[in-house]
Each structure stands twice: as structure tokens, then as C-alpha cells.
A and B are shown apart, each in its own frame.
Chain A
């Protein structure tokens, strides 16, 4: 793992890949129903032409290029092109409303915008009217833009054409820029999704991304032969590592789905060998499989349940290479032939060598389901400030309840307050224009605070329980870790989201969001008619199911030494889904506790008042930005806590 002679910037990596893997595929995109392919040599030509075109338009060293759009080859090329000119790409969450994007563009002082399509161009134009600093808006897909005023707007193809002309006149145009760039230079600014307050711009150096990518690729023996589906938001550090950093570092091929709604199908067609998805995706996939199995014929159902039992018993051990009885191996083989392989094929997981999940806790049943099928899914723990990797599970040391030992090159410690801290080659340079926040995040002796509470277990694996600042105390002085409880609740398929309260209270209470797909399917099956989420959520049977799940969580908690007082004694099912458009959760689906506390204060009071129901009206924002109000009469249920049990579950 020597880093001395390795390329230390993305343009240099591109040159190396174009030489070393010239004819190997670098990017694929499905367009008009057919996968189009670009080799590394072609990508070099595209990137350099676009970079030269940008230079013609006045893009200079240190300028920021905001990238707003889905995972399109040209969006990725735009990022590299900016880096060629020693500028800094700033990818932005494309789903964000114009006001949110404006904050980021203003804060980053973006001069150029690369927008995917009309939707994003509309937002960019709206923003540009307020931010005179935006000189150009370049678009990839020109559909619907024919009648737009062209003063700031230009077509990607046009910029590329001008770049090609410039390069034809002066082939060495970009060489000096590329040679001058260093690994320690700022390479990219990634804005955090802003769980607390305004988003912060995390400035990562080229080294941060490239060395981390290289280390993590070595950890899992990733090669130029991997196939990856690039479907994660480009503004998220994960995509910057999995689809960009690691792809450049190892030379593997990324595949851009046709659009958001075809991801599942494209996954099946590509059959990635290396895959990342947040736990929610694995969860939804499993729910989908289970729902479809319930509709299957009797023989198939029996086969599925029989062989899944075999898989649960021996699958993980067989994958680990641990000893298993010969007969069990034979049965597993047969199961693979009849059930596991076809199932993996439908999910698009036939070729997966390594899969990771992170971001939230994953339910042990879900996690073990995939491992039992022979899918090597593992957990990692990371954050933007550390270029993702803090801990990751090596093959053979995979557990559902931990996030693994420290990743290669990373040191991790837990301080006296229980906070997890780390130092690594991925540690960010600073927060963009926010020295105070940078000082707050880095300790005096060079470690980064994660803000997460956790501890190392006996195996040396890190276990994360909650955010340090969210860990509170009940009035009797016992520990209250809301996220730990919420995760336990969310493991039930019909509960999508949960928010628990308990800090400074006598007991724990919860808001529940049901999963409209799972509960809706149940309703359909049982002939329960409903017209809306609200109606389904208020149904007596829904309350009964949720109540039973909470009972089960309470039984588990009763056995927990530290947390037995955290049993949930009161709950209600919210009348609307918590929504990022209403600011209740972040775009990455993390609960914004303070917003919810402010917005639903009267409901929280009702939970602790002993009332049986409460009438509320709530303002909602629709997807097109309009606002409305929904009213509901919410029921509140009370549960009796279980007596603490001494033994471990």
C-alpha cells in the first residue's frame, strides 16, 4: 500500500486508467432502453474536452462547480473536469427545493452550475436570479429548454465542442493544471444533509478520498473487474467513494440507471459485484419478497420456508467457511439450486461479492436473511468528515449487532463521555468558511468527534447506540437512548418510522409511522377498505398490530440490564408520514427531533397527560411545493410495562 508513486489527484488517476485500462468499460448508462458504454479512454476524452470548454467559459482555479442532478455519466465527468482545472465540484442533493439549494450555492460561492435537466435548470435559474455570482448554467438534457433565454444557459455538448476546438488548437492546454494539482489540495465540498441546523460544507482533499478509497478497496480485494450500480445521491459522500473514488482508484465500471424508477430493474440487468445500500433498501426488498411469497402457490411456499430454514441454520457458516455437517451442506446446495439462486437473481444479487450497508442500524433478521442466502453483506460505520470509513467488517467477522473493528488506517477511541472519536487519512480539511465548527469537530490532539455514543465489545467491534446529545436520562436516573428504541421498533415491517420521548420524563412514549406498503398489503388481504394513509393509520387493527410489536420490544427491554426502564408505555400513530419536504426528517431519512418536538408539541403533551385522544391540525407541504392542512383525531394507547427480568435475551 505505498502511496508515493500512486497518482494523487483524480485527473492523474484518469490518465493512468486511460492508459492502463484504455479499452475497458468505465461507465455505462442505459439510454433508450440500451446500455451505452464508455471506455476509460473515451472518458478521458470527454472529461478533458468538457474541462477545456469550461476553461473557455472562464472557469478558473479555485472556482466551484455546483452539480445538481441524478447519476449521469456527464455529471460525474463534470466533477472530474472541474478538478482538472483545479476547481472544486460541489454536488447538491437534486431533490432539494430551490431555497435549500440556494443556501448551498451561496455558501459555496458557486460560479458554475451543471444541471441535469429542465427540472434542475428551473431551480438553477430561480437561484441565479438571486445570486449574481452564478456565471453559467450548463445542462445535460435539453428537453423542454428550447424556448428558454440563453444568456446564462448553455448545452453540455456545446461546451464540449468548444473544448474540443480549443484542445485541437492547443493540445497541451490542460497539462499544466493537471501537473500542478496536489493530493493535499481541496478536492470536493460535500454538504451534510443538515440533521441539525444549516448544512455544513465538508471540504475533503484529494488524498482524503483517494487514499481512503485505495485502503478500503484493498480491504475487500476490489479490482478493475467490479461492476457497480451508481444510484446513490451524488451529493452524499458514499456515492463519492463507491461510484467515484473507488472506481478511479481501481478502474472498475460504474453503471448509471435509466432513471430513479428503474433502479430495481437495472440492478437485475447489471448484476453488480460490489454494492452498497442503506438498510432501508434491504428492508424494502425483503418485504417485497415476503409479500410475493405469500401470493405464491402452495408448493413454492413450502419450498421457500423449508429451504430458508436450512439457510438460516447453515448459510452464514457455510459462507464463512466454518465446518458444517455434510448432510447440511448437501441440503444447502439443493436449496441454492431451487430457491436461493433464483431468488438472488430476481433481486439482482447473483454476482455480489461484497455488499455493505450503513447509515442506520439494520434489523438482525434482515441482515441474517441476506447472509443466509450467501450474499456477503457487511456493515460499516462512517461519516462525511472521515471520507466514509471509520469501522468496517472484514470477511469472517460479521455480526448483525456491531459495525466492525476500525477500518484500515483508522484509529478509533471512545472518550469518557462515551463519544466515538477517530483519526484517519480520510479526516476532512475543514468545514467550508466555518472555523468555529471545524474547531468544534476536531479535538486538540487531532481526533475527530463523531457525536455518536458507542462502545467496543469483547470482540473489539464497535457498537453504536445513539447520538451523544440524544442520549438522555429518565427521571429515575436510568439511561434513555431514543434511537436504540426506535431502531428496535423499526425492525417490524409495518412500522416505518418511530420517534420516542423520555428524557426528563417518568416513562417512555412514542410516535409511530406505519409502513403504508406493508400495512396496505395486509388491509387488501383482509378486505379492509381505506382511502388514505390517515385512515389506514387510525384503523383499530393497525393500532392492535403496532401495540403487539411494542409489547414485544418491551419484553426484550425488560431483559436488558441498563434499559429496562425504557419500556414504551404510551404511543400514538401519527396521521401523516414524516416527510423531508416538511423538514421532519432529513433527505437521508434521519429524524429531526427538535423540529418534531416543536411541531407536535401538543401531541407530546397529550402522550404524557393520560388523554385517550387528541385533535390536531398539521400543515403539510406537497411535492410540488404547495401547502395544505390536514386534520385528525388521534387515539393514544397505554401499555403496561413488564417486570424487569435478570437474564440476557
Chain B
């Protein structure tokens, strides 16, 4: 998977992005491309603008400057659900699941953008709505099987431990069968074993569901093992971009991030 040709078509391209909130500039002139089928990591110290970048990519923030191209088309201002329909799904740094609903129902919500039956049919729970529900349920069950969460299928997610909630959230993102999957710190707060599981799921998700993945992660070991390419942000600027090995030896990165972490 590491042998992607450089010429692989970018699935998404963000060009010269600048974003500020009032006087605070979160991103300054950042270029970012995500190629079809790769695992792309964004790293950087706290407050470097990683989550902002992700929010720009999925259209939640609209940058003051710069443009986003997705699947060869320039993107205008879209509502979040329109972007979801376009084929971008994401998970959140702070888990954003429906706590009172079961794992299965949460994953089913990921299918909503793909449901076509009209409101009337849905209400009657008959004909096309029922057929469609069965299809979606099967897709959800495949994801449950894939993530090995059969034992919590009917458990309300609010009762699950953190690591499992993260997994359910990944499941919901996968359920949308998106072209691009954005994961905001998928392994934050997990223990080693949970991290290893999550790594395997992310790698397999790429292979099995054909998803392109962009992720933010703090655990350097994880990022270097997992990602095909890594982009490093510091104070809203891109300071490096390349294969994990290049990043590991980049002096700017060591100073900004890795070095600082050691000193702490």
C-alpha cells in the first residue's frame, strides 16, 4: 500500500488555504492534497490547526482564502449534509454519537444519506422502505462484523467504554460508504491494545471498503506505521509534507514537534 505512484490522482486538493477567526489566524496558506486510496496523516503540536484543516476539508469551515477541489470539481459553499452526500464522512475528536441509541442504530444513521425511499413509505414501513431497510441493515451488519462489535450490537452506546465508542463512531463513518473518511484523533485516550486494534481496523478499512483516509493523530508511533504520507502543521503553517521516513528526519519537524515533546 506504500507503493502508490506519485501520479495517483488527488481525490481532494486544498489550495493555499487561509482561515482565521477574528484576529486569530488558524491556517495560513496551507496546501494539502489527498490521493485516492492512501492513508494521509496530519500531525502537529496542540493548536497547530489540525482540526481546523479537517473542518475545512469537510466543508464545516469556509476559509477566507483558497479553494477546495474534490474529485476534480471546485467546491462552493455547501451545507454539511450536502458534503456528506458528496462522499465525505468523519469522526470527531470528542465522540459525537447518539448516546441513548444502540450501536446498531448509530451505525444505521450513517446510512441515512443513502436512503432513497420517500417519507410516506418510511412512515408506512412497507414496500420500498422495508426492502431498503433490509439492505441497509445488511450493510450495517457487515460493518459490525468487520469491527468485531457483535456483542454490543444492541447496547446503548452511552454505556460503552470509550475505546468501543470510538470504534462505533468509525463504524458509523464507514456505513456512509464514503470516498473520503476523515478521522479526528481516532486513538486518543486509548490503551495500547485498543490502539493496535484500531490500527488494524483503519488499515483493513482502506483495503476492504476502498476508503481513502485522512487522519489526525498524536501518537507518533501510530502515525509513522499507519500513514502513507504525513503533513506537519505548526502555528497554522505547513512545515513539512512527505513519507513518514522523510518526516522523521526533517529538522523543522523535530524542532517544532518531536523535539519539543522530548523536552517536556
Contact = CB atoms under 8 A, between A and B. Distances in A.
A143 interface: yes
B263 interface: no
B115 interface: no
A60 interface: no
Contact of B144 (A33, A144, A146): A33
B81 interface: no
B146 A143 contact: yes
Nearest to A260: B151
A143 B193 contact: no
Nearest to B207: A146
Contacts of A33: 137, 141, 144, 150, 153
Contact of B208 (A32, A143, A262, A623): A143
Contacts of B142: 32
A624 B151 contact: no
Given A32-B141, A32-B142, A259-B151, A624 B193 contact: yes
B141 A144 contact: no
A221 interface: no
Interface string A623-640: 110000000000000000
Contacts of B148: 259
B151 A265 contact: yes
Interface string A123-161: 000000000000000000001101100000000000000
Contact of A261 (B137, B141, B144, B151): B151
B204 A143 contact: yes
B135 interface: no
A146 B209 CA distance: 13
B246 interface: no
Nearest to A259: B150
B150 A624 contact: no
A623 B192 CA distance: 11
A265 B204 CA distance: 27
A261 B146 contact: no
B150 A261 contact: yes
Contacts of A258: 150-151
Contacts of B137: 33
A32 B138 contact: yes
Contact of B204 (A32, A144, A261, A623): A144
B189 to A, nearest CB: 15
Contact of B151 (A32, A146, A262, A623): A262
Decide if the interface of chain B is mainly helix, strand, loop or mixed: helix
Most buried by B among A33, A144, A262: A33
A31 B137 CA distance: 13
A623 to B, nearest CB: 7
Interface in B189-219: 193, 196, 204, 207-208
B75 to A, nearest CB: 33
Contacts of B196: 624
A142 B145 CA distance: 13
Given A32-B141, A32-B142, A143-B208, A262 B150 contact: yes
A259 B148 CA distance: 9
Nearest to B104: A33
A262 B152 CA distance: 8
A554 B156 CA distance: 46
B167 to A, nearest CB: 13
Contacts of A265: 151
A33 B207 CA distance: 23
A444 to B, nearest CB: 52
Most buried by A among B138, B150, B193, B207: B150
A32 B107 CA distance: 14
A144 B193 CA distance: 19
Most buried by B among A31, A32, A144, A265: A32
Interface string A443-456: 00000000000000
A439 B137 CA distance: 59
Interface string B40-55: 0000000000000000
Nearest to B204: A144
B144 to A, nearest CB: 7
Most buried by A among B142, B144, B151: B151
A426 to B, nearest CB: 36
A258 B151 CA distance: 8
12 contacts: A31-B145, A33-B137, A33-B144, A33-B153, A143-B146, A143-B204, A144-B204, A146-B207, A258-B150, A258-B151, A259-B148, A259-B150
9 A-B pairs with the lowest CB-CB distances in the bound complex, closest first:
A261-B151, A32-B141, A262-B151, A258-B150, A33-B141, A262-B150, A259-B150, A144-B204, A32-B145
Given A144-B204, A258-B151, A261-B151, 16 more contacts: A31-B145, A32-B138, A32-B144, A32-B145, A33-B137, A33-B141, A33-B153, A143-B204, A143-B208, A146-B207, A147-B207, A261-B150, A262-B150, A262-B151, A624-B193, A624-B196
Interface of A: 31-33, 143-144, 146-147, 258-259, 261-262, 265, 623-624
